[in-house]
Amino acid sequence: MAKKKIKYTKVSSIYIKEMQTLNSVLLRSIKDLDLDEKLTENMLHKFWKELFGLSIVNATRSITLRNKSVTITINSSVVKSELMMLKDPILKKFQDKFGQENIKNLIIY
């Protein structure tokens, strides 16, 4: 029984090393192709829905990420004014989720 456990551990460590190598290759490729901002933008859309639900999502025209600034365009002036009052907490949530080095500013139109 002990031999099987040792073999499993060796196989697991090899598997983990391969996954780390694959992960590093993927991350390097994403950065080399300048896709990291697009991927973060895509995740921002999903996170926006998690934060506010369908009513705010339906009032949202677009969410873009350019040069570490998130720009959110809102169709409703009422929703826009409510979100403007929550701008700092929203930015903090984005930074907590995606990193302060990736998101520096939030603009709401």
Task: Say yes or no to pLDDT of 18 above 80.
Answer: no
CB 60 within 8 A of CB 70: no
Mean predicted lDDT score pLDDT of the chain: 84
CB 10 within 8 A of CB 18: no
- Strand ranges of the sheet holding 105-108, from the earlier edge strand across to the other edge: 60-66, 69-74, 105-108
> What does DSSP assign to residue 83?
H
- Say yes or no: 58 and 98 in one domain: yes
Work out the average pLDDT over 47-58. 94
- Say yes or no: 14 and 51 in one domain: no
Angle, alpha carbons 43-109-94 (nearest 5°): 30
Task: Say yes or no to pLDDT of 47 above 60.
Answer: yes
What is the pLDDT confidence band of residue 9, given thresholds at 50, 70 and 90?
Answer: very low
Tell me the pTM. Answer: 0.71
Q: Which residues contact 59 (CB under 8 A, 6 or more apart)?
A: 74, 75, 76, 79
- Say yes or no: 13 and 61 in one domain: no
- Say yes or no: 43 and 82 in one domain: yes
pLDDT at 21: 72
Work out the average pLDDT over 61-84. 96
